[in-house]
Every structure is written in C-alpha cells, then in structure tokens.
Structure 1
Amino acid sequence: METSATVEMAVPAATAFAFVADATNNPRWQKGMVECAWLGDEPPITVGSRYQQHARFLSRDVRSTFEVTEYVDGQVIAARTLGVDEGGVAGGFPITFRRSVEPVDDGRCRVRTVVTGEPGRFFGLASGPLAWMVRRSIRADYDRLVDVLES
C-alpha cells in the first residue's frame, strides 16, 4: 500500500520542516496520534535517530518504533518502523515515510509525503477499504498541518 499527499502553505520552508521533522509534534496534526517521543538525547535529528509513537487506528492501539533513514536538514526526513528483532515494538506493521519540504516563493512552501506500508494480518483482511481509509486519513492530516502552521 502506498499513498502520498502534497500541500502548499503560507509558511517559510524552514519553519515547516522544523515542525514536521520533530516527531513530538505529530499528535498536534496527525489524527489518532496519542504520543511520540524521541529515544535518547534527541534532537538534533540524524540518520539513525529513533522515536516511539503510540497511535489509535480502527479502535486499536498501535505502538511503533521508527528509525530515521534519510535526513537532509531543512529539506527531507524519511523513516521506517523497526521490527522486534531491531529493537522495535510487537504489534505494529511495517511503514516507511518520506517527507520533503521545498520553498515555493517568499514565505510559502510545499510539503510532500509518500507513505508505504504493509498492513499485516489483522489489517490485511480489509486491505481495499483500509488503503482508502489510510489515503483519506493522510490527506486530512496534511490539511490539519496547514491549519496548525498557518494559524
């Protein structure tokens, strides 16, 4: 399953990137996100930085550990969930995301994300409807991101 979202906002690119790169902000703009916390002495964020997140999705608690796989300060952050054998948490499902931020003009930027995931056994039973729900949820999250940052 793969989906993407792109939004433009009246916010400088540096401001938008600092916000979306810091996982502790996720509950402010991602529906269902309960808590996100960096592990260790974060930030500054680098490749290999890790955070844990607790979300609610379809009435289920989903806990995951993410590891940053790509980081270009001010431009790109990408991360993936870790498996149990890598220090991750049991019960989640594999997800990767890549967020990029680019200036459009003075004081405006474009934020783009691509999310891929493997729903696993429980969520896989409803893979068609689940994909639609995930796409709709991600697009709504990015609309919320615009509202949060522009307010």
Structure 2
Amino acid sequence: MKVDVLTEAVIAAPCDRVAAYAADPTHAPEWYANITSADWRTPPPVAVGSKVAFVARFLGRRLAYTYEITTYEPGRRVVMRTDEGPFPMETTYTWEPYGEGLDHTRMTLRNRGEPSGFASLAATVMAAAMRRAQHKDLAALKALLER
C-alpha cells in the first residue's frame, strides 16, 4: 500500500524567508518533532544532488535515512528522495505568496512512498501518524517564523 500525505499551512512571513528557512536541512530538527539530527553528506548549500543524512524517531522506532535533493527551485519548491533508508520516500515542499499583500506564505508538505515488508502492513497506521506529525511540524514552523 502506498502512503501519500499532503498538509499545508499559511505562515505570516514572506515567501522568500519561509522557503529559505524550511529548505535548509540544518533547520529540520528545530521544527520537525521527530527529527533528531540532520548532517550534510555533501557540501552545503542546498542544490540538486545535495545529500543529507537524517535520524528520526517515528512510531517508537529510530530511523536513519539519507535524502538526495532531486529538484530545487529556490523560493518555490524542493523535492527530496531517500537515497538510503528503511523504505523509499519522497518529500516535497512548495511555497507560494499568499494573502492580500502577498506578505504571507502558503507552504505545502507532502510525503509519499511505498513501504515494503513489515512496514507495508502498517501503511494505514503510518499514514495517519505522518499526517498528525506533519500538522504539528508545520505548526512549529509557523510559530518559529511568526515570532
């Protein structure tokens, strides 16, 4: 079974500021509740081909995985795919100016993949947990950037 979870938030901050902060993997442990570390495997900054190793806790388990940046449109979109990890996963962030003066940002966060083995049996539970986590993560990002 495939997992495909899309969440969004409107953040009261300019698009370029939100995108620059969220696209930098070194900030991930600050706003992702489950991510405990992010370590560059290639030299920063973010670019197509960049690799970052993450360690996270999810559903009571420690997960270590490496993402490779496959698409990077500064201020608009970034797509990352697992290069190494427990199952194939793709994460996409998008940002667009929002609101009357376009001084807010609508950010989407999408995670999709196809767990295999034991993880495939828990795909429904995994998707629900991912949805809850993503809502919390975007709320944390919103709180950080609206200070």
| TM-score, normalised relative to structure 2 | 0.91
What residue ranges of structure 1 are gaps of 5+ in the alignment? 83-87
C-alpha displacement at 1:125, in angstroms?
2.4
SS at match of 2:117: helix
Matches within 5 A, 1:116-131: 116-131=112-127
Between 1:101-110 and 1:30-39, the stretch displaced more is: 101-110
- For the pair 1:98 / 2:92, whether they are aligned, the reply is yes
- For the pair 1:53 / 2:54, whether they are aligned, the reply is yes
Identity level (%): 30
- For the pair 1:3 / 2:43, whether they are aligned, the reply is no
Q: Contact (CA 8 Å) 2:29, 2:37: kept in 1 or not? A: yes
Count of matched residue positions in the alignment of Structure 1 and Structure 2 = 143
SS at match of 1:120: coil
Question: What does residue 24 of structure 1 align with?
Answer: 26
AA aligned opposite 2:130: V
C-alpha displacement at 1:123, in angstroms?
2.3
C-alpha displacement at 1:141, in angstroms?
1.1
Distance 1:76 1:146 in 2: 18
Between 1:31-40 and 1:9-18, the stretch displaced more is: 31-40
C-alpha displacement at 1:110, in angstroms?
0.8
Question: Where do 4+ consecutive residues of structure 1 move more than 4 Å?
Answer: none
Between 1:122-131 and 1:33-42, the stretch displaced more is: 122-131
Question: What does residue 73 of structure 1 align with?
Answer: 74
Between 1:23-32 and 1:130-139, the stretch displaced more is: 130-139
